[in-house]
Amino acid sequence: MKNLWSILILMLPLFVQANCIDKQTLFEAMRCMQAEITRLHQENQKLQGSLLEIQRMQFQMLKAENAQLRAQLQQKADRSYQVINCGSCTWEQARQDAEKRGGYLATITSEVEWQLILKTANLPDAWIWIGGTDQQEEGKWQWVTGEPWGYTRWSSGEPNNANNEDYLHIWPKHSQGGHSQGWNDWTGGAKTQYYLLEK
């Protein structure tokens, strides 16, 4: 009997939680508890169902995103990058020369592509034109191909539009003229020996 009371005292918080404390008899209170357990069990099943549905949707979204990234990567993997020695050319001259060669000034639209170029394009330690410009509208950068402008890898303090700089080139090495590795805006009249061709 003493044990039964001990158990009931221990269960008291549960009865209170389940709003079963006001029942007249212990039997009613226990039935109330059982009903509450059943209700909670059903609610848990519903919640688990919702959680599964959310996880299923997340899985589908990730799968779609993954497929899209794979397609982009494959598209990029199918292209080639080549450093062209133009002697001395402005960005516009480089753009036209790239077109004559059946390609275009390289566009870099992801970290994967940037790393791919750094590792495989055999870039010289130089100022190298690539296919970005904000010539049409200051500060609104665009790729020559019309690809969406999103990913950037600006060198420290760039773009600074110093002397109205509207054309994009890269510094592939950390040491280049004391500039950090990355991208820089440069003027339309500036000339350099190299550009990066993509096709």
- Residues near Ca ion (CB under 5 A) are 134, 158, 160-161, 165-166, 184-185
Query: Cβ closer to Ca ion: 44 or 164?
Result: 164
Q: Which is nearer to Ca ion, 113 or 134 (CB)?
A: 134
Distance in Å from the first CA to the final CA of the chain? 89
Task: Tell me how far, at minimum, the Cβ of 134 lies from Ca ion, in Å.
Answer: 4
CB-wise, 113 or 185, nearer to Ca ion? Answer: 185
The set of residues, in sequence order, having a beta carbon less than 8 Å from that of 82 and lying 6+ positions away, is 103, 121, 196, 197, 198, 199
We find the least distance from the C-beta atom of residue 155 to Ca ion, in angstroms, to be 8
Count Cβ neighbours within 10 Å for each residue of 111-123 and write b for 16 or more, e otherwise.
Answer: eebbebbbeebeb
Tokens coding 184: 């820089």
CB 102 within 8 A of CB 199: yes
What is the smallest separation between the CB atom of 92 and Ca ion, expressed in angstroms? 15
Q: How far is the CB of 189 from Ca ion (least distance, A)?
A: 13
Q: Closer CB to Ca ion, residue 17 or residue 175?
A: 175
